[in-house]
Amino acid sequence: MITRIQNAENRRQKAVYKASLNALVIALTTLIVFPAYGQKADRSKPPALGQAPTLKLPPVQRLKLSNGLPVVLMEKHDVPLVQINLIVNSGSGMDPAGKTGLAGITADMLDEGAGTRNALELADAIDFLGAQINPGPGIHTTFVTLHAPLNKLDQALPLMADIAMRPTFPAEELARKQKELLTTLMQWHDRPNIVANALFNKTLFGSQHPYGAIALGNEQSIRSFTTDDLKRFHAANFHAGNATLIVVGDVAGKTVLPKLEAAFGKWQVKAILKPNWPAAKQVAERRVYLADKPGAAQTEVRIGRIGVERASPDYFPLLVMNTILGGSFSSRLNQNIREEHGYAYGANSRFEFRPMPGAFLAASAVQTAVTDKALSEFMKELNAILAPVTEEEMTRAKNFLALGYPDGFQSVGQIAGQVGDLVIYNLPNDYFNTYIPRVLAVTKADVERVAKKYLDPEKIAIVLVGDRKVIEQGVRDLKLGPIDLLTIEDVLGKVPTVSN
401 shares a domain with 486 = yes
Q: Tell whether 313 is covered by a domain.
A: yes
From 232, 264, 296, give the residue that closes a domain.
264
Beta-bridge partners for 494:
none
342 shares a domain with 235 = no
Q: How many domains does the chain have?
A: 2
How many angstroms separate the CA atoms of 185 and 180, rounded? 9
For the segment 133-150, what is each residue's pLDDT rounded down to a tens digit?
Answer: 999 999 999 999 999 999
Average pLDDT, the chain: 91
From 264, 296, 315, give the residue that closes a domain.
264
292 shares a domain with 248 = no
How many angstroms separate the CA atoms of 136 and 168, rounded? 17
DSSP label of 406: G
Domain extent, residue 454, equals 287-492
354 shares a domain with 233 = no
327 shares a domain with 193 = no
Q: Tell whether 104 is covered by a domain.
A: yes
Could you tell me the CATH number of the domain that includes residue 258?
Answer: 3.30.830.10
- Residue 281: which of 197, 204, 351 has the closest Cα? 204
The pTM of the full predicted model, rounded to 2 decimals, is 0.87
Asked whether 465 and 196 are in contact (CB, 8 A), the reply is yes
Out of 33-37, 87-91, 443-447, least confident range = 33-37
Asked whether 96 and 102 are in contact (CB, 8 A), the reply is yes
Helix, strand, coil percent values for the chain (each to nearest 5): 50, 15, 35
171 shares a domain with 90 = yes
Model pLDDT, residue 45: 73
**Taking the chain, what is the end-to-end CA distance rounded to the nearest angstrom?**
97
Asked whether 222 and 178 are in contact (CB, 8 A), the reply is yes
306 shares a domain with 209 = no
248 shares a domain with 170 = yes
How many angstroms separate the CA atoms of 417 and 431, rounded? 14
140 shares a domain with 259 = yes
For the segment 144-183, what is each residue's pLDDT rounded down to a tens digit?
Answer: 999 999 999 999 999 999 999 999 999 999 999 999 999 9
Report which secondary-structure segment, H or E, holds 463.
strand 461-466
Left if phi > 0, otherwise alpha if psi is -120 to 50, otherwise beta: which for 350? Answer: beta
E strand map for 278-387: 287-292, 298-306, 344-351, 359-367
